[in-house]
Structure formats: structure tokens, C-alpha cells
Structure 1
Amino acid sequence: MQPYVTLQIKNKVGYIEFFHPDHNAMPSANLKKLVQFIREAGSNKMVKVVVLKSGGDRTFCAGASFKELIAIDNEVKGTQFFSGFAQVINAMRECPKLIIARVQGKAVGGGVGLAAAADYCLATQYAAIKLSELSIGIGPFVIEPVVSRRIGKTAMSRLTLDAETFYTPEWAKEKGLYAEVFDSAEVLDEAIHEMAEKLCGYNSEALEQMKQVFWEGTDHWNELLLERSKISGKLVLSAFTKEKLKRFK
């Protein structure tokens, strides 16, 4: 199957779905489309709540596209690539509609960032998380603010330094990333449908005002995440990282 990002509106719920055959990794093209559809859903009067999900029944999101990482040969391209994740996080943060994340499988790197950037996140028992960036010489600089905001600096540092370990969905729920963990994708979908329908019945103005409250103190993130993108964009060119990335060719 070819990569895609789609937006479908059903009963006032905007369902944004992304897919990539490589474990739902995120190439620049998909990141740009995600930003486009998040903004589109946010401005559409027919949408009251947004659900962010990925295609397939396994990995939610494997993070950055290693094929693109390998191809980066200067700092400008590196910054541009990592700023793609920054733009998605900021689009989610600035979207006036509440966003529910559906995490049906493992989330790695930027995938953890997407889950943390949602206003409410539901997952299955298969949705383990890992921040593997340090193991290839980079670091989760771009997603750190949103992940730390969700689970705290202590848990974030543990995930970051223990870069080769998957942490269980139960651990992620305990730390506040997931609101609930379900036994299967089918039960997860029922819970998301119920939550979305319930929110759609609430006062839209109140929901929008609450979202602003949830994200207070993040107005500087457009600049902050761009600066973080520059750090990653430089590190991806290091001899250490280039050597580590050879195994993914």
C-alpha cells in the first residue's frame, strides 16, 4: 500500500488517519499533510472533535522515516525534516478542537510525541512506547516539551536515557500519557466513539476555551521547537549517527 493521510468527517467527528507501509514511519510528505488536515479540521464548522489515528493494526507510529534521515546531507535539510514534527505538534496544540489520539500499537520517537500532543489519548495493551533517538546519536529534542508536559521531566528522562527499552502501556497510563488501556482495537474503537460522541454533545465554546486552558504557557513553542529542530538537524550529520543509520539501509 502507498503512504496516505486522510480526513473523513462523520457525525461531527473529524477522523484524521495516516499510514506508511514502513510501520507508519513519518516521511516529510505525511507530516505536511498531517498539518494541513489538522488545520482544516480545526477550521471546519462541521467538526466538533478530532480523532487522530493510524492505518493498520500494528504499529501506531515508528517515528521519523529512516530513509529520509539517511539522505540528509546538510544542516538546512536536517532542520527542515525535524521541523516537520515541530509543525505537527504546534498544529495539534493550536487546533481549536479537542484531539483524541487512538494508539492501537507501538509508538516510537515521534509517535510518542503525537500521542502526547493529543488532548486525550486512548490505547491498547499492545501500545508500548520507546524513545530510541539517543541510541542513534540524536535525541528527542523536538518532542521533549510536549512529552515532558504530559508525563513529567522525570519519566521523560527515564524514557530518553533508557533508549533501547519499550515501556509498557500500563507504565504510560500510570505516567499520564494514556487515559485508558484496552484489551483490543475493537474495544478501543468503541471507547473512542463513545468519548467523541459525548464531547460532540457539549458546548463547543466551552470545549474551545478549555483547550486554551490546557495549553497555557506554550505560546512560545513555535520558536522553541524550531530551535530544537536545528539541534537534531545538526546531530543527524554526525559521524556517530551516520554510522548507526547504515544498518537501516
Structure 2
Amino acid sequence: MQQPKMHSIRIEPLGLGVVKLVFGNPPTNSMSIVLLEELAIAIENLGEQEEVQIIILQSEGERTFCSGADFNELMAINDRDAGKIFFTGFAKVINACRKSPKIIIGRIQGKAIGGGVGLAATADYCLATKFAAIKLSELTIGIIPAVIEPAVERKIGLSSFATLALNATDFFSANWAKEKGLFMEVFETVDEMDKAIIDLATRLSSYNPAALTALKKIFWKNTDHWDTLLEERAEISGKLVLSSFTKETLQTFTQQH
């Protein structure tokens, strides 16, 4: 009998305008529709709080940052509307990060897969450990990384996105991700990464809030159309997830695990 998912959202004020936003869904921090919805709302709410300047986005646990979409929920999708609704969850999180007036620092302690790569790409500044390999595995189950593509391509370029998307069984190292612009710094240990994140967040929080917000808008220039774009992309993924290829592949995968 399958155990219920125990997803969580936790907000930890660190003082001086810095807040940790921590999400979790054991064992690999996969993204369910409810978790996506709650994460988007949390990001929006923090963006409205004047006392918050810097958001550190991180996940629970020591190993996997985020394994992407919850496969059990993907299997349960049985019509286009349900498919679109599920993938719109990723769109909501991306747009919440994009529209937030606060600087978002991504803390990537371990592997990021599929939507996890998209989540890392929505951070304004991303730090990682050497264990934070990345993979876009969508093609292996018959779908494509349609919703996260704008965020990922914005950071690493179309050629590198194509490399990830087409080599869907391969993990690419944290240093590769740094070379391409997804990660700004890569550390040997979690402790070193966490120290650097706190130092950066504390420093940034001492700056003019209006200047940080203005800079954030520049970071996200030319993305005003993403509300419509990501909705269209969610529709594409919602259609593909209904294919017999995807249904059979997901069934085989869940039986093996």
C-alpha cells in the first residue's frame, strides 16, 4: 500500500530582511500539484512583505534538490484539462518568481531533474554543491520540458538547452551548469555553500530595496508575455502526457520502483 505524500512548505525568517523558503516532498522532493500551488502562493506572499528583501529558495534533505514532476500524479492524468492544470502548476511557480520584487537566491544541494532544473533557473542567483548534477529527462517518458524551457533557455541559451533536452538520459555536472550560466558558484560541501549564501544574502539585504527591485526588473526584461506563453506550454505538455507512450513508460517506471 502506497504511503501518502508528506509535502511541506516552511518559511524561516533569518533577520535583516532575509527569509528562507523551504519546500519538501520525501524522498526526492518531487513536485505535486498541491505543492506547486502552495509554493507559488508562498513566493507571492513573501513578495508583498515590505520587511522581506531576499528569499533563499531551498528544498529539504541533503541529496536531491528536486526530481521534477510527481510521477504518480502524472499517471493519474486522464484528460487534457487535467494535464494542463498540472503543468500550469510549474508555470505558476515560474511566474511567481519572475514577478516577485524580491531577489531570489537558489540553494541547490543535490541533483535537479526536469522541473527541478526549471526551478533552479527561476532563481536570480543560484549557488550549488558539486553534487548538483542536472538532467532534463522528459523525452524518456514521452513529454518535453515545454513549460520550463523559457526559464532554462534564458539562463543557459538555446544550444545548451537542446543539449540537455536531447540527451535525456544523461546527467550533466554542476560545473557544466556553472559554465553555461545556470549556477553562479559551485562548492565542495553544503557547509561552504550555506556560508556563501548567508554572506551574499546579508550583503544584498543591506542595499537600497528600491535598487534591488529595479535590478530584478532588468534581470527579467522581455518576459512580460510569459503568462500567456507558459499557459500555452502547459497545454502542450498536458496533451503529450496522455500519449500511450507516456502512459506505458510511467507504468513501467513505477512498477520498477
For the aligned pair, the TM-score class normalised by the smaller chain equals over 0.9
Alignment coverage as a number of residue pairs: 249
Partner of 1:29: 34
5+ residue gaps, structure 1, are none
Please state if 1:77 is matched with 2:74: no
Partner of 1:172: 177
2:6 corresponds to which letter in structure 1? Q
| Corresponding residue SS for 1:147 | helix
2:9 corresponds to which letter in structure 1? V
| Corresponding residue SS for 1:142 | coil
- After TM superposition, give the deviation of residue 2 of structure 1 in Å: 2.3
Q: Distance in 1 between matches of 2:192 and 2:137?
A: 29
| Corresponding residue SS for 1:60 | strand
Please state if 1:111 is matched with 2:120: no
Please state if 1:6 is matched with 2:3: no
- After TM superposition, give the deviation of residue 8 of structure 1 in Å: 1.9
1:62 corresponds to which letter in structure 2? S
Q: Distance in 2 between matches of 1:121 and 1:237?
A: 34
Q: Distance in 1 between matches of 2:8 and 2:169?
A: 29
Structure 2 counterpart of 1:156, from 153, 158, 161: 161
5+ residue gaps, structure 2, are none
- After TM superposition, give the deviation of residue 43 of structure 1 in Å: 0.6
Within-5 A mapping of 1:46-195: 46-195=51-200
Q: What whole-Å deviation, never above 9, does each CA across 1:87-125 have from its counterpart, x for those lacking one?
A: 000000000000000000000000000100100000000
- After TM superposition, give the deviation of residue 171 of structure 1 in Å: 0.2
Q: Distance in 2 between matches of 1:6 and 1:121?
A: 20
TM-score by length of 1: 0.99
2:241 corresponds to which letter in structure 1? V
Partner of 1:17: 22
Q: What whole-Å deviation, never above 9, does each CA across 1:55-76 have from its counterpart, x for those lacking one?
A: 0000000000001000000000
- After TM superposition, give the deviation of residue 14 of structure 1 in Å: 1.6
| Corresponding residue SS for 1:141 | coil
2:7 corresponds to which letter in structure 1? P
Q: Distance in 1 between matches of 2:178 and 2:205?
A: 25
Partner of 2:224: 219
Q: What whole-Å deviation, never above 9, does each CA across 1:117-175 have from its counterpart, x for those lacking one?
A: 10000000000000000111000000000100000000000000000000000000000
| Corresponding residue SS for 1:23 | coil
Q: Does the 8 Å contact 1:6/1:37 carry over to 2?
A: no
* 4+ runs deviating over 4 angstroms: none
- After TM superposition, give the deviation of residue 22 of structure 1 in Å: 3.2
- After TM superposition, give the deviation of residue 3 of structure 1 in Å: 1.3
Structure 1 counterpart of 2:206, from 194, 201, 205: 201
TM-score by length of 2: 0.96
Q: Distance in 1 between matches of 2:42 and 2:202?
A: 20
Partner of 2:235: 230
- After TM superposition, give the deviation of residue 9 of structure 1 in Å: 1.5
Q: Distance in 1 between matches of 2:182 and 2:45?
A: 26
2:164 corresponds to which letter in structure 1? L
